[in-house]
Structure 1
Amino acid sequence: MTHAGAFNQGRDGDLDGLVRDFQGWVHAFAGALSELADRRLTGVDDTGRVAATISGTGRLLQVTIDPRAIRDLDHAALGQAVFQAILAARERMGEGLDETIAALSGGRSTAEPDVLQPYFDAVLRQE
């Protein structure tokens, strides 16, 4: 059981242990974000003729346009296809971030209450 679990159950916990747990979580999260930032994610438009590649941080790295798209689409439709491809790549980035957060939280939902919230509230109320 983590030290946060002891606090959640209303027992006195080891504060130093809780800090160590927290530092471990921060380190794991930073490492996971670093790995995600190094990834290259590609998305394509609805026609499959335009592809966009972004970094894990969302930076656009490359756009590839099939010559048939240039021939068959007017400038507005081509612009929309590029936009769709970039959006698809960014959606993949978001999915990767969701997977990273789920893995780090042990599948715990972010909608669950924060187990330490009552303790933080008590500290903030003290003068």
Structure 2
Amino acid sequence: MRRADAFSAGRQDDVAGLLRETDGWARAVTGALGELEEERLAGADPSATVRVEVSGTGRLRKLSIDPRGLRALDHEQLAQAVREAIVAAHLAMDERLTEVVQTLAGSPSDTAVPADPLAGHIRDVLRGE
């Protein structure tokens, strides 16, 4: 981050250093995304009839439906329960991704981070709205 700050301040004398720094950032992000792909994050509908697991990058890995819970659900309620379970898993993925980004950015999760202007929109997308 040192070279990027200097570069943005008008001191463009170390382009090679800036490129090395951005290459390091790119490798760190690529490594973090690779690790996220291996993680499994769970979600369930409120009745816990439907449970899903997604990877840290949002890919659906597992879907299970408790047969006992099916007795109380018609096809539309089952579809809603599946959507709710997927949304819950995506929100867990969102929290994990936020942790990873904060770590990469060097800001611990317990410090105040400026509000992301797109956070609400991203949460709506994760909820399927």
Q: Does 1:87 align with 2:96?
A: no
Contact 1:43 1:85 in 2 (8 A): yes
Counterpart of 2:43 in 1: which secondary structure? Answer: strand
Q: TM-score, normalised by structure 1?
A: 0.76
Length, aligned pairs only? 111
| Post-superposition offset of 1:68 | 2.3
Alignment of 1:67-78 (within 5 A): 67-78=67-78
CA change 1:4–1:21 in 2 (3 A) is same
Counterpart of 1:43 in 2: which secondary structure? Answer: strand
Structure 1 residue aligned with 2:35 = 35
Alignment of 1:1-127 (within 5 A): 2-107=2-107
Contact 2:44 2:84 in 1 (8 A): yes
Q: Distance in 2 between matches of 1:86 and 1:7?
A: 43
| Post-superposition offset of 1:50 | 1.4
Q: Distance in 2 between matches of 1:11 and 1:73?
A: 64
CA change 1:21–1:109 in 2 (3 A) is farther
| Post-superposition offset of 1:37 | 0.8
Output one character per residue of 1:72-100: Cα deviation in whole Å (capped at 9) or x when no partner. 11111111111110111111112222221
For structure 1, list consecutive stretches of 5 or more residues without a partner in the other structure.
Answer: 112-127
Structure 2 residue aligned with 1:122 = none
| Post-superposition offset of 1:110 | 8.3
Letter in 1 for 2:33: L
Q: Distance in 1 between matches of 2:63 and 2:6?
A: 51
Contact 2:7 2:18 in 1 (8 A): no
Q: What CA RMSD, in Å, does the superposition of the two structures yield over aligned residues?
A: 2.0
CA change 1:100–1:109 in 2 (3 A) is farther
Q: Please tell me whether Structure 1 or Structure 2 has the larger radius of gyration of its CA atoms.
A: 1
Q: TM-score, normalised by structure 2?
A: 0.75
Letter in 2 for 1:80: Q
